[in-house]
Chain A
Amino acid sequence: MRLTIEGARVIDPASQFDQITDLHIAAGHIVGIGEAPEGFSANQRIDARGLIASPGLVDLNVSLREPGRTRKGTIDSETRAAAAGGVTSLCSLPDTLPVLDTPAVAELILDRAEQAGQVRVFPFGALTRGLDGEHLSELVALRDVGCVAFTQGLASMKSNRILRRALEYAAGFDLPVVFMPQDPDIAEGGSAHEGATAARMGLVGIPETAETVALARDLLLVEQTGVQAHFSGLTSARAMDMLADAQARGLRVSADVAMYQLLLCDEDLEGFSSLLHVQPPLRSKQDRHALRQAVQSGVVQAIASHHQPHEQEAKRVPFAASAPGISSVEILLPLALTLVADGLLELPALLSRLTCGPAAALNLPAGSISLHGRADITLFDPVAASLIGHNWLSKGANCPFIGKGAPCKVTHTISNGKLVYQA
């Protein structure tokens, strides 16, 4: 397909390009910026005057649920939802059934993603077999079939000794490791941030130290082993300080935060809506402020959706008994644009946190608009308000933002040169 996008404001944070121009696409690649190449004739044109053309978003934390949990979501449904959110590349978590700890499971996921034909999937492999925290997965074999990083998610390691060995092994092959720090012993049984709100509501609290104790250990082991580390879904102000300090000391550490953590806080739990039950929990207003500041300063270079789709029954129970997570990939860009509306970030800076920032964190070949580069492009109208939930595509409707307004609207998503979403 040969496609021309006419008259968009093209913003590429990676190259700091920001100009109203045309983009010409053929065979999955950008073949012209501005002038069309000689002999190019488009068979489809998009009138994009008034729209922004951004690199397709790169989302570092998505649960696709397939294989094994297809009541909650499938690769087809969730990659379609991602495309609707402006995402063209996503990293999938290994928390499938079976766990992604063998090349066969990775291949299955990649095959189904290709069949779905929506967006690019970069799977994370399980750091240990079955996420048991004890036996290392075949990390190199998993890398060879396409796993871009390795993680335990929120599952714990059997011991600090085994974690150290796993990091040493990964570092030996320069494999990035993704940490979601939470000390399970300190967090045990908790469902909300430990603070005044949880105390009043009688919810068992997860203290900030559940995150920071684990983060401190992880940072020390990262320093010792020299592994490339990415911290995903950090929630606390103290963690932001620790991260900034580690970066200042020259450690190879990057981080993302969940988009919803930048908008919500523990006070929103009043009323016990199970839609707001997430892990790690929504923290305090002060923590939220610190996360926003860290995103603004660049200490946190990526904003991810932390998309966790669930079937209705998983949330149709009292708060603590509900499955944690928000279905959010579909609204990543509309929610993120509220940060521009709030004056926290200029639009190019925000887009860098959603495109080249996350791509750089895990060395992914994505997140930029460049001549001869892959044509992954998101078009959005920055001033057209949209109603969240209209034409919802994710299989999980567990989203507290449904019914609310968003300050922008994704109009088109182009993945590998193909129009995969049009509003």
Chain B
Amino acid sequence: MSTPSSHLQLNFQGQLRHFLTIEGLSRELLTELLDTADSFLEVGERAVKKVPLLRGKTVCNVFFENSTRTRTTFELAAKRLSADVLNLNIQTSSTSKGETLYDTLRNLEAMAADMFVVRHGDSGAAHFIAGHVCPDVAIINAGDGNHAHPTQAMLDMLTIRRHRGDFTKLSVAIVGDILHSRVARSNMQALQTLGCPDIRVIAPRTLLPAGIDQYGVRVFNDLRVGLRDVDVVIMLRLQKERMQSGLLPSEGEYYRLYGLTRETLALAKPDALVMHPGPINRGVEIESEVADGAQSVILNQVTYGIAVRMAVMSMAMTGQNAQRQHNQEILLAEQARKSGQETPACD
């Protein structure tokens, strides 16, 4: 299916040039991304943890929202690809002096950066930057509002694939604040694209977005029913403000109804994976023993995250370079055509 997102994300050859959302990307492309990430896992085990794929390139981490873990893994991924990395602390930058997002990005673009890794509080911010501000710079979405967190989704997919293999035989449950989760949205899209036949979302109705039933997922309000015989449980972080905004009565009731404990995990398959994008709230959405237990792959997710981000960066840079070259060739051909028209014919 061709969507506005795929038009924006892919170059003339169908290669990735921005990575904004999972939506609109093909199974083949996601599989290629996972395969590439797989091949990068080995880099992290080397004595010298570097490959030269982005040598001479400048990657800017532009984080308008705080995040230590995601920014660090992006930084590490870029450095392992031999890029020069610039971390911009937007809290103290020009935007706090009134400069617009547009002008901030235009300035960075003028410094000849090759790639922006952007986190922003507004859904669609990454699309806005890729479409309107810096179309010639590869944009990697590191989380935009409630919309998408595609690298997190792909590292979750890599984790699942490495531990369970074939997506087409799996039942995966996503539990918690679906309404406000960009991770949940991207995960649902990635699982669907990769052929997962049984995607379940489990949450109280106040934490489910309208129209979720149209997404090809099964919706459960009861954790104990929803977890039955699943292969993978992806827990989501719950924020205390959900209680204050009238979405939930209390942390205690939430934990009692939706907390992943040894007892509730026992409802899933015996070897079900426990995942969480972090940071985890022990005793709010997950029991400490479960978070640290034998079925937990939460720390593996972090490790795989670096490889996935290396894969995304290298593929997007390749696609962006090819697009630039293509655009340049078209421009030159156009100029040649025009100058040919302007030249008077010789007798």
Contacts and interface: CB of A to CB of B under 8 A. Distances in A.
Contact of B124 (A196, A197, A207, A320): A320
Contact of B3 (A198, A204, A270, A274): A270
Given A196-B211, A320-B145, A202 B123 contact: yes
Interface stretch (B125-133, B313-321, B327-335): B125-133
Interface in A149-196: 194-196
Interface in B206-226: 209-212, 214-215
A319 interface: yes
Contacts of A271: 4-5, 8, 127, 131
Contact of B100 (A197, A202, A205, A317): A317
A149 B28 CA distance: 60
Interface in A184-224: 194-205, 207
Nearest to A274: B128
A318 B131 CA distance: 11
A203 B148 CA distance: 11
B182 A319 contact: no
B123 A320 contact: yes
A204 to B, nearest CB: 7
Nearest to A269: B124
B210 A205 contact: yes
Contacts of A45: none
Nearest to A199: B209
B23 A272 contact: no
B123 A203 contact: yes
Interface string A310-325: 0001001111110000
A314 to B, nearest CB: 10
A398 B146 CA distance: 25
Interface in A259-293: 270-272, 274
B101 interface: yes
B6 to A, nearest CB: 11
Interface in B85-138: 100-102, 120, 122-125, 127-128, 131-132
Contacts of B145: 202-203, 318, 320
B237 interface: no
Q: Which of A195, A317, A318, A320 has the most CB of B within 10 A?
A: A318
Of the candidates A197, A202, A203, A319, the one having the most CB atoms from chain B within 10 angstroms of its own CB is A202
B144 interface: yes
Nearest to B146: A202
A327 B262 CA distance: 58
A197 B4 CA distance: 13
A198 B214 CA distance: 12
Interface residues of A, number: 24
Contacts of B215: 196, 199-200
A97 B9 CA distance: 42
B185 interface: yes
Nearest to A207: B210
A203 B131 CA distance: 18
B147 interface: yes
Contacts of B8: 271
A316 B132 contact: yes
Interface in B10-38: 23
A270 B101 CA distance: 21
Nearest to A317: B101
Contact of A318 (B5, B123, B146, B211): B123
Contacts of B100: 313, 316-317
A318 B210 CA distance: 22
Given A272-B127, A317-B102, A318-B128, A198 B210 contact: yes
A199 B132 CA distance: 23
B216 to A, nearest CB: 11
Contacts of B132: 316
Interface string A71-112: 000000000000000000000000000000000000000000
19 contacts: A195-B211, A196-B212, A196-B215, A198-B209, A199-B209, A199-B215, A201-B123, A203-B145, A204-B146, A271-B5, A272-B128, A316-B102, A317-B122, A318-B101, A318-B127, A318-B128, A319-B122, A319-B124, A320-B122
Interface of B: 3-5, 8, 23, 100-102, 120, 122-125, 127-128, 131-132, 144-148, 182, 185, 209-212, 214-215
Interface of A: 194-205, 207, 270-272, 274, 313, 316-321
Given A271-B8, A272-B123, 8 more contacts: A195-B210, A200-B215, A202-B185, A270-B3, A272-B124, A272-B128, A318-B128, A319-B122
Chain A to chain B: the 10 pairs with minimum beta-carbon distance, closest first: A202-B147, A196-B211, A272-B124, A199-B209, A271-B4, A202-B146, A202-B123, A318-B122, A318-B125, A319-B124
